[in-house]
């Protein structure tokens, strides 16, 4: 399985949870185990009645406990603390992919496309797919993403990456396609039904532009020129 870690502050928890729950959430929707010292009370207090104006999700692609430990040892030493260690609440999750040929079966080795689709949409999919349904072939059936939900709710949105902005992890927010490799109009060999000339939504780059995301920062300019 692939492990990811996410970091948030109190306001982030409130907004992220509110978006997923239709922009309203109370403590009654939070499961807290009172018999364990897991900071459940802090989590409940952060969410209960909470609403925030903004939310920024920082995602370390492929970052699990071992990567964080290496960074800590290198940067500040084993007894030191990274900035992320000072946050009042942290969490982590494990995930898996589905098999494209039979989505009822699990693929235990998850790539960034399937894992990203999971956190961006709340649904599992097969490796290589970008926010689309496993087993639907090149004619994409898509899942709505948290960025799209935010847009519908009237929020300004942004997508910022140190990689190509059309790479799998950032792409899951503002595009839907069957193959993560279809990043620009010149890369559409395996995504023919999605080509604009075939009546589809276009490549990842084209969909990113058409989504009218307010702020887009990242690499991969050539994808938009092709």
Q: What is the CATH number of domain 96-226?
A: 3.40.720.10
Burial class (CB in 10 A: 0-12, 13-18, 19+), 183: buried
**Among all chains, which residue has been given the structure tokens 């007894």?**
79
**Among all chains, which residue has been given the structure tokens 């956190």?**
119
Domain ranges, ordered by start, for the chain: 1-92, 96-226
Q: Is 203 labeled as catalytic in the residue annotation?
A: no
Q: Are 132 and 176 in contact (CB under 8 A)?
A: yes
Task: Compute the C-alpha angle 168/156/58, nearest 5°.
Answer: 45
Active-site entry in 18, 112, 126, 161: 112
Predicted pLDDT of residue 90: 76
Smallest CA-to-CA distance from 221 within 148, 176, 173, 161 is with 161
Tokens coding 65: 């406990």
pLDDT in tens, the chain (226 residues): 555 554 444 333 333 433 333 333 333 344 344 444 566 777 777 677 767 778 888 888 888 889 999 999 999 999 999 998 888 777 777 889 999 999 999 999 999 999 999 999 999 999 999 999 999 999 889 999 999 999 999 999 999 999 999 999 999 999 999 999 999 999 999 999 999 999 999 999 999 999 999 999 999 999 998 6
How many Å apart are CA 109 and CA 56, to the nearest integer?
A: 28
Predicted pLDDT of residue 59: 87
Predicted pLDDT of residue 51: 73
CA 136 from centroid of its chain's CA atoms? 21
Q: Are 19 and 55 in contact (CB under 8 A)?
A: yes
List strand residue ranges (DSSP E) for 26-156, in order.
Answer: 89-95, 97-98, 106-107
Range list of H helices, 82-203: 112-121, 146-152, 168-174
């Amino acid at each position: 399985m692939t492990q990811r870690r996410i970091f948030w502050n109190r306001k982030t928890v409130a907004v992220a949870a509110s978006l997923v729950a239709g922009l309203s959430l109370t403590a009654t929707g939070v499961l807290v185990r009172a018999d364990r010292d897991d900071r459940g009370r802090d989590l409940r207090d952060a969410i209960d009645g909470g609403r925030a104006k903004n939310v920024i999700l920082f995602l370390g692609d492929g970052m699990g406990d071992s990567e964080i430990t290496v960074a800590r040892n290198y940067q500040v030493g084993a007894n030191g603390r990274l900035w992320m260690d000072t946050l009042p609440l942290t969490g982590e999750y494990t995930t898996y992919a589905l098999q494209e040929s039979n989505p009822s079966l699990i693929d235990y080795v998850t790539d960034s496309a399937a894992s990203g689709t999971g956190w961006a949409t709340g649904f599992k999919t097969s490796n290589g797919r970008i926010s689309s349904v496993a087993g639907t072939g090149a004619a994409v059936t898509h899942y709505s993403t948290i960025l799209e939900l935010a847009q519908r709710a009237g929020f300004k949105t942004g997508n910022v990456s140190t990689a190509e902005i059309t790479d799998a992890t950032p792409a899951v927010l503002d595009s839907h396609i069957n193959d993560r490799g279809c990043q620009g109009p010149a890369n559409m060999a395996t995504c023919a039904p999605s080509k604009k000339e075939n009546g589809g939504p276009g490549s990842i780059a084209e969909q990113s532009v058409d989504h009218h995301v307010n702020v887009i920062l990242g690499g991969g300019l050539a994808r938009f020129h092709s």
